Chain A
Amino acid sequence: MNLDFEKNMPEIEAKIAELTKQKTTDPNAKVEDQLTDLQKQLESLKKEVYSSLTPWQTVQVARHPNRPLLRDYIAGICGEFIELHGDRYFGDDQGIIGGFATIEDRHVMIIGHQKGKTLEENVKTNFGMATPDGYRKALRLMKLAEKFKIPIVSFIDTPGAYPGADAEARGQAEAIARNLTEMSQIEVPIIVIVTGEGGSGGALGIGVGDVILMLSNSVYSVISPEGCASILWRDGSKAPEAAEALKVTADSLSKLGIIDEIIPEPLGGAHRDYEGTLRVVKQALLKHLNILRRVSERKLVERRFEKYCRIGRFKRR
């Protein structure tokens, strides 16, 4: 998928790939100068485009189909991953997955939304839109982490909770509410990281934690910009305006005090550089795992409650 604001970046990248290939097959090919030139062009273009993304452009990047997904993060960051299935009530949602995992020498419980890269995968995972079964599976795994006394790392990347008739019938609202309630009292550290789309209640349903991190091009919002535009502007095409007004970017949310840290993506976005992205995510997770391991169980819950108590801007008069 090409983003129009990336201008001719994809073409330059294609040309670089072609010349690089030429170089490897034919060591005598005189492509060195051209390559250096193209790489310079690409770098300056990346800088130009990615240092001044509008909120709506950031939404496009956050939704980019080539962005690393949860299974990419697990494969790149975790030494081991033991997937655990099922909510023990109804089924095994694929929109939220989880299991035991190691990050370096740390043992953790990973939960998170799983989108798909292909249509087939997206059918299976519902485009990362979890059903109540997914939220209940996540809660089961969090309770398990609490019992095993290991920290929880929650990866957020969803357009929202699945809006289906069956999801309503099985209590989408109750499942999310239950998670919000229980997560506030879980006696192990919870690190939340928004890697792509933080879509409303569907994101928050596994998003209550001690520290909330966001990748620099991810977004987090109470409603999709399109949804907001169609309600308040009565025109879905005003999504760019709504994205601006809703303050959905990591930068805005950091200024509002909602998130604790922005993890800078490599220039040009996570979809261009998996290795670089995984490296910074791993570093950030290890850092916060180490900070939070020193906090007592009681203090953790107390501090988490206070953290959420503080969120809100109102007047008294």
Chain B
Amino acid sequence: MGWFRKKEKPPEVVVAKEDLWTICPSCKAHVYKDEWDKNFCVCPQCNFHDKITFQERLDILIDPGTFREINEEVTTADPLEFKDDKGSYAEKAESTKAKTNMKEAVVTGRGKIHGIRVVISVMDFRFLGGSLASGTGEKILLASEYALRHAYPYIVVSASGGARMHEGIISLMQMAKTCAGIARLKKGGIPYISILTDPTTGGVSASFATMGDINIAEPKALIGFAGRRVIEETIKQKLPDDFQTAEYVLEHGFIDQIVNRKEMKNFLYKVLRYWKAK
């Protein structure tokens, strides 16, 4: 559904000159790879927040040694026996698993943020564009149920192009399934914080990602429902550059704050302190 770029490439981190340099995908600045990595893959020139792996995200957000993964064994099946002209979904999923060492596009578990216990789901764009499908939906729902049971705040970090076409309508239904879990958190009085990173579009933006009690975005992240090209074709107009950016959705009232990656953990901590505070 919604949002897929034609010829989507993985994060364009082009490494040149004996792996010394990283070229910023946004402003094309040449940055020492060391500096780039130390800066959490954020461009020191333009503050573009590049995509990072689930492990890097957990390292940034969760206290060292406190993360315990749950439902790590959930992985893809092939309910539609889907094939396109390049091959089968089953093969594609297997090669993705081998390449990423992940079993689905999201990793879920519990951990601590400066000592506060939380349940967290982290999507990883490397796994089929972070797409929402059976396994992803199941893990995100089970994590919210875990949070509800233990009365821990729930945090989801989204990075996704939307629903996974290869599982057809079953992927679409994961939108309803994950939202049903979020509804139970709301009813149960459990805080739910959604962090929207580049990109959060299509079926993920139209489900759990925009439903946070608090929605936070990383700077310049692409956030929206329909794809830019589709909209331009529909309205027969060119869209401004800042359309569907974090800054744009902040201005339109759909997120609470834009927070820099290196300040994200402290921001979460500061907000979580208010839950049941005296």
Which residues does A use to contact B, with CB under 8 Å?
160-165, 167-174, 176-178, 180-185, 200-201, 204-205, 207-208, 220-223, 228, 230-234, 238, 241-242, 245-248, 253, 256, 258, 304-305, 308-309, 311-317
Question: Closest A-chain residue to B142, C-beta based?
Answer: A309
A204 partner, pick from B85, B167, B175, beta carbons under 8 A = B175
B168 to chain A, nearest CB (A): 5
B75 partner, pick from A160, A207, A314, beta carbons under 8 A = A314
C-alpha gap A279/B198 in the complex (Å): 49
B108 at the interface (CB under 8 A from A): no
Question: Residues of B contacting A184 with CB < 8 Å?
Answer: 176, 179-180, 183
Question: Closest B-chain residue to A201, C-beta based?
Answer: B206
C-alpha gap A165/B230 in the complex (Å): 10
Question: Residues of A contacting B25 with CB < 8 Å?
Answer: none
Question: Residues of A contacting B253 with CB < 8 Å?
Answer: 171
Q: Lowest 8 CB-CB distances: which A-B pairs, in order?
A: A163-B226, A312-B134, A313-B79, A184-B180, A180-B179, A173-B205, A314-B135, A200-B1
A230 partner, pick from B6, B234, B252, beta carbons under 8 A = B6
C-alpha gap A173/B30 in the complex (Å): 35
B53 at the interface (CB under 8 A from A): no
Is the CB–CB distance between B179 and A220 below 8 Å? no
Question: Residues of A contacting B234 with CB < 8 Å?
Answer: 162-164
C-alpha gap A173/B209 in the complex (Å): 9
Question: Residues of A contacting B226 with CB < 8 Å?
Answer: 161, 163-164, 167-168, 172
C-alpha gap A195/B140 in the complex (Å): 31
A231 partner, pick from B4, B141, B244, beta carbons under 8 A = B4
Is the CB–CB distance between A256 and B177 below 8 Å? no
B202 at the interface (CB under 8 A from A): yes
Is the CB–CB distance between A317 and B75 below 8 Å? yes
**CB contact under 8 A between A228 and B206, given known A164-B235, A184-B183, A200-B1:** no
Is the CB–CB distance between A221 and B169 below 8 Å? yes
B116 at the interface (CB under 8 A from A): no
Is the CB–CB distance between B84 and A222 below 8 Å? no
A258 partner, pick from B75, B169, B223, B254, beta carbons under 8 A = B169
Is the CB–CB distance between B169 and A178 below 8 Å? no
Question: Closest A-chain residue to B177, C-beta based?
Answer: A308
A282 to chain B, nearest CB (A): 26
Question: Closest A-chain residue to B231, C-beta based?
Answer: A163
C-alpha gap A223/B163 in the complex (Å): 9
B206 partner, pick from A173, A182, A258, beta carbons under 8 A = A173
Is the CB–CB distance between A201 and B168 below 8 Å? no
Is the CB–CB distance between A312 and B6 below 8 Å? no
Question: Residues of B contacting A304 with CB < 8 Å?
Answer: 180
Is the CB–CB distance between B172 and A165 below 8 Å? no
Question: Closest B-chain residue to A203, C-beta based?
Answer: B172
**CB contact under 8 A between A180 and B173, given known A245-B84, A314-B77:** no
B270 at the interface (CB under 8 A from A): no
Most central of A168, A171, A222, A246 by chain B CB within 10 Å: A222
Those of B170-196 within 8 Å (CB) of chain A: 170-177, 179-180, 182-184, 186-187
Is the CB–CB distance between B85 and A238 below 8 Å? yes
Is the CB–CB distance between A163 and B165 below 8 Å? no
C-alpha gap A183/B168 in the complex (Å): 22
Question: Residues of B contacting A313 with CB < 8 Å?
Answer: 77, 79, 134, 167, 170
C-alpha gap A205/B134 in the complex (Å): 19
Is the CB–CB distance between A222 and B225 below 8 Å? no
Those of B221-247 within 8 Å (CB) of chain A: 223-227, 230-231, 234-235, 237, 239, 243-244
